[in-house]
Structure 1
Amino acid sequence: MQGYRVLVGVGGGIAAYKVCEVVSTLAKDGVQVRTVLTDAAQEFVTPLTFATLSRYPAYGDRDFWQPVHGRPLHIELGEWADIFLLAPLTANTLAKLAHGMADNLLTNTVLASTCPVLLAPAMNTDMWEQAAVQRNWQQVQQDSRYHTLAPGSGLLACDRVGAGRMAEPAEILPYVRSLLHTQGDRDLIGKHLLISAGGTREFLDPVRFIGNPSTGKMGIALAQAAHHRGAKVTLVYAPSTAIESVRAFGVRCIAVETAVEMRQAMLAHFSQADWTIMAAAVADVKPADYSPEKLSKSALPENLLLAPVPDIVAELASLKQPHQRLVGFAAQTGDIVTPAKEKLVRKQLDAIAANPIDQPNSGFGSDTNQAIFLDRHGRQHHIDQPCSKLTMAHQLLDFIHAMPKC
């Protein structure tokens, strides 16, 4: 994230306190962050707070006419930014954006910039549901510059329960990072991606199962990245604690536990998918016998008989149409390329991501990852140092997008 520049516009609402975490996290990641506050925003959080968290001055309307290096401030800031985040976006500022109005430093800077703008509204439920506000919300979404995180529902600061709650930092930060990678390009509009995530569980009885350490973070990162790039996404996930980070903004999420359940869900949606990415760690075997009641310790078999589970990716490959792309994952130790190439050919995949799970900060459960991507045309792409799983997800989508069509 070193060297990127994010401009944050803060509106007047209690949700401004959440933006402190966003600014602090980006700054810790090495991003240059500058903030612009409306007069109303300064009633909730002081400019000093944001200046301290970002290590850069925070600007308000009192600074509007103070030149920077001899140039107007709104011009300088607008040209400086790679990404512009507006959070919380108030009904007042939304109306100004929808109609191209500019009467303060924040809105003038929006018009003086050309970078992608991410909007995260926050307001009372009755305000959000007003017809005029909804018209303005729909209108800004017609402008390709604007990317949007619709508010969620919950208990608001006014004690109302309903829509209007600003997206959480855990939703805002991945979107900002995606925009820094894509510069706002929605190159997957019109495509439907089917993605699997997590590790399946194969039960011996109601409390014991054969499983693996997969947390689903890689598959969820792929779903986030694809959604941010405009794709329609269906995510089939085995148990994962991170699923709410994608469910909240419109990714269709289908929960499964076993390999049989994952097979059923993947087959049900495969024909509608343009790209299918099998990031899940699916079990290879299951207990041959299942007890519907918990087995006592003395009743546990000394030798556990095992039975194979469906080979989901091979079955999908047999059904694949010429316009579809099927991508697998191979979690390996030691030499990761040789077995990945063999799996690529044997399973008739279009591409595969080979993960070195024996390397630090990579593989199961980690927030970072590294990999080698290979495709059936002989191309390779190496990620030799651990990066965030969202960054790796974008690089994999880039790799698939660049694949030859034949």
Structure 2
Amino acid sequence: MGVGGGIAAYKICDVISTQVKAGWQVSAILSETASQFITPLTLSTLCRRSVLTDADFWHPQAPRPLHIELAETATLMLIAPLTANTLAKLVLGLADNLLTSTVLASQMPILVAPAMNTTMWEQPTVQAHWQQLQQQPRYHSLPPAYGHLACDTVGVGRMAQTQEIIAYLDSLAYTHGKRDLAGKHLLITAGGTREYWDAVRFIGNPATGKMGIALARAALHRGAKVTLIHGAIAEPIPAQVRAIEAMSGEAMFKAVLEVWPEADWLVMAAAVGDVRPAQQWSGKLPKSALPTALPLSPVPDILQAAAQMRRPHQRLIGFAAQTGDVVAPAQEKLKRKGLDLIVANAVDQADCGFGTTENAAVVLDCQGRSRHLAKVPKLILAHQIFDIVQEWLP
């Protein structure tokens, strides 16, 4: 981990702490200016090992050059906050300190997360360097976000959120930096739909959108263009994802069919309700006026409509949340809706399904193949699903 000289350096403490607790071995390189914002003692305590500085780089008693040792033993690198100065050095291939020398001596994937004043970020030279860095395959990026900066400016320049940095690191550890979805447009749905029958009451389900957003993150990290159409969710959406809110089944139906013609894959992870109230009331009904029976009508079938519109290169991936036997109902849904592949998961098992951080699944395709995926974090499960899609549906 390379820490640049900026006020956002303090945010790196959460990243290091989280990854160390997850079993990662983290070595931190503190640039000369970064030590003005955060101390080596703080980072070494979190890393459980000594923090490296330029003073270590030039130490004459090292058995091997330090930058070579680091470059050969690390799996991947994070540089955050990435300053305008270090950005320029990376683009030009300069190596005048331990951090940039380690970069040049390695071939590992590198995730960069810039942070700086808005005016600095918008300078033509900085933007040109940023675009040049994107063209080098080993660099993966989390661009700065809009917000209130430490200098009291309001604009683009905030470093990406810790959750997004950690998720991207987890993806890189799984994929080793491959971008095998580059050039593809994935349309993904997430969250639960709500069918209101008055201003405050609705028919819904416990879906939180965690699986759909994990799929969006995984696709984004593998190079895809991602459109996420979502209902009710409890997770932040990555800034690089095009997000469209669709809270009802009808709204999601319209949004999906509008975007589907321009997409390559449709991954239908949303928990769309099957029925909606046949009548809706404006305002909130008083308790005394609540109906004793609520007539229902069917919600439009999104996957069936998408299957009828599909072109030869397009792929349809569905999800089936089930209790009890998950395989038989999923196989029936796969055939009935004309899907290429379906992901079945049990929502009646402990720590799986709605609202959990982990999930397990059975993946089935129209050729009769199946694969059981053991319980893992939902981001890793998303990557495993994409691996199977590309293996079974070339």
Asked if TM exceeds 0.5, the reply is yes
Within 5 Å, which residues of 2 pair with 1:285-364? Answer: 285-364=275-354
State the TM-score, normalized to the length of structure 2.
Answer: 0.97
Aligned to 1:368: 358
Q: Is the 8 A contact 1:369 1:388 kept in 2?
A: yes
- 1:75 Cα offset (Å): 0.5
Which of residues 378, 388, 391 is equivalent to 1:389? 378
Q: In structure 1, what is the equivalent of residue 14 of structure 2?
A: 21
**How far apart, CA to CA, are the structure 2 residues paired with 1:72 and 1:40?**
22
Deviations 1:204-260 (A, max 9, x none): 111100000000111111111111111111110002132x332x2x21100011100
String of CA shifts for 1:68-120, please: whole Å, max 9, x gaps. Answer: 98221100111111111000011111111110000111110011110011111
- 1:245 equivalent in alignment to 2:237: yes
SS state at 2:99 partner: helix
Q: Which of the numbers 185, 188, 191 marks the counterpart of 1:192?
A: 185
Find 1:151's aligned residue among 144, 154, 179: 144
1:66 offset after TM fit, Å?
4.0
- Equivalent in the alignment of 1:127: 120
Aligned-partner SS, 2:88: helix
**Per-residue Cα deviation, 1:143-180 (whole angstroms, up to 9, x for no partner):** 11111111112111111111111111011111111111
Asked if the contact 1:67–1:73 (Cα under 8 Å) also holds between the matched residues in 2, the reply is no
Q: Does 1:99 align with 2:92?
A: yes
* The 10-residue stretch of structure 1 (102-111 or 332-341) with the greater mean CA deviation from structure 2: 332-341
Match of 1:4 in 2: none
Corresponding residue to 1:75 among 57, 63, 68: 68
**Partners in 1 of 2:347 and 2:151 — Cα distance?**
48
Residues in 2 aligned to 1:71 and 1:251: alpha-carbon distance in whole angstroms = 43
RMSD (Å) for aligned C-alpha atoms: 1.3
Question: Gaps (5+ residues) in structure 1?
Answer: 1-7
State the TM-score, normalizing by the size of structure 1: 0.95
Q: CA deviation at 1:26?
A: 0.7
Task: Tell me by how many angstroms 1:379 deviates.
Answer: 2.2
Q: Distance in 1 between matches of 2:382 and 2:159?
A: 26
Identify the range of structure 1 (182-191 vs 295-304) with the bigger mean alpha-carbon deviation: 295-304
* Displacement after TM superposition at 1:378 (Å): 2.2
Q: Is the 8 A contact 2:71 2:103 kept in 1?
A: yes
Q: Where does structure 2 lack aligned partners over 5 or more consecutive residues?
A: none
* Residue-by-residue CA offset, 1:4-60 (whole Å, 9 max, x unaligned): xxxx10011110000110111111111111111111111111112111112222111
| Secondary structure, counterpart of 1:59 in structure 2 | coil
Identity across aligned pairs (percent)? Answer: 58
Aligned to 1:3: none
Would the alpha carbon gap of residues 60 and 270 (structure 1) be closer, same or farther in structure 2, given more than 3 Å must change? same
Report the alpha carbon displacement of residue 129 of structure 1 after superposing the two structures with TM: 1.3
Report if aligned partners of 1:68, 1:76 keep a CA contact under 8 Å in 2. no
Q: Higher mean Cα deviation, 18-27 or 371-380?
A: 371-380
1:280 aligns with 2:280: no
2:23 aligned partner: 30
1:170, 1:245 within 8 Å by CA — same for their partners in 2? no
